[in-house]
A and B are shown apart, each in its own frame.
Chain A
Amino acid sequence: AQKVTQAQTEISVVEKEDVTLDCVYETRDTTYYLFWYKQPPSGELVFLIRRNSFDEQNEISGRYSWNFQKSTSSFNFTITASQVVDSAVYFCALSNYNTDKLIFGTGTRLQVFP
């Protein structure tokens, strides 16, 4: 069975704090893809990153960074020096190699206060 767990339902931080959003996944496949999407109040899901199961290198993009660890089946997302505009719901998702179906976690609502 495939499953994505985002245990943090809601996180509140003050601007400029660093924050890490956790994502744990389950799959029996050896080839799979992991994604992070941002859903601001406007509603559309905004793609942030895709990582395949063979690439465990961590990635940094501006204030965003991702830590992929196959040993713990985790794909955590860190925002450094958070800003009010980062307030949104963040979804982690899993897709296996032979399907385009995204299995989403339940999302983490991040609120960044000024």
Chain B
Amino acid sequence: DAMVIQNPRYQVTQFGKPVTLSCSQTLNHNVMYWYQQKSSQAPKLLFHYYDKDFNNEADTPDNFQSRRPNTSFCFLDIRSPGLGDAAMYLCATSRALGNNEQFFGPGTRLTVL
């Protein structure tokens, strides 16, 4: 089945230690998104890629970076995780820009010690 895959499902890192979260998709969608969802809160968009074009949300901290080496993969890099970065990170894809349905992965729950 075509899907959005996130690895790992659970990630534990230490305060200040860089961490990378992975997302892959078999849908061949052009757009990939990263959302941050803190406990009992709504998901919040961090950034998205339309093909290779990167679009950062204005309030996304510089500590968060992203890479998209090819259509299928997208990575979220947190350069120096703080305790406040502990959250669920959701990857999503859509076929194109323009309010298309977004397909979400199962998320990676990040714990910062």
Q: Kindly supply a per-residue 1/0 record for chain B positions 21-43, scoring 1 wherever the CB is within 8 Å of any chain A CB and 0 otherwise.
A: 00000000001010000001111
Given the known interface contacts A100-B48, A100-B94, the answer about A47 and B101 at a Cβ–Cβ threshold of 8 Å is yes
| Minimal Cβ-Cβ distance residue in B for A9 | B40
Number of B interface residues, CB 8 Å? 27
8 A Cβ contacts from A56-114 to B: 91, 95, 97, 100-102, 104-107
Residue of A44, A104, A105 touching B107 (CB-CB under 8 A):
A44
Number of A interface residues, CB 8 Å? 20
Given the known interface contacts A33-B99, A47-B103, A100-B31, the answer about A106 and B88 at a Cβ–Cβ threshold of 8 Å is no
Could you tell me if A100 and B106 are in contact, using CB atoms closer than 8 angstroms?
Answer: no
A105 to B90, CA, bound (A): 16
| Minimal Cβ-Cβ distance residue in B for A6 | B42
Could you tell me if A42 and B57 are in contact, using CB atoms closer than 8 angstroms?
Answer: no
Rounded to whole Å, the gap between the CB of A103 and the closest CB of chain B is: 8
Could you tell me if A95 and B99 are in contact, using CB atoms closer than 8 angstroms?
Answer: yes
Residue A45 lies at the interface, judged by CB distance under 8 Å to chain B: yes
A46 to B104, CA, bound (A): 7
Could you tell me if A102 and B106 are in contact, using CB atoms closer than 8 angstroms?
Answer: no
Could you tell me if B88 and A43 are in contact, using CB atoms closer than 8 angstroms?
Answer: yes
28 pairs across A/B with beta carbons < 8 Å? A42-B106, A43-B90, A43-B106, A43-B109, A44-B4, A44-B90, A44-B104, A44-B107, A45-B43, A45-B102, A47-B101, A50-B99, A52-B99, A91-B42, A91-B43, A95-B99, A97-B99, A100-B48, A100-B97, A100-B98, A100-B99, A100-B102, A102-B45, A104-B43, A104-B44, A105-B42, A106-B41, A107-B42
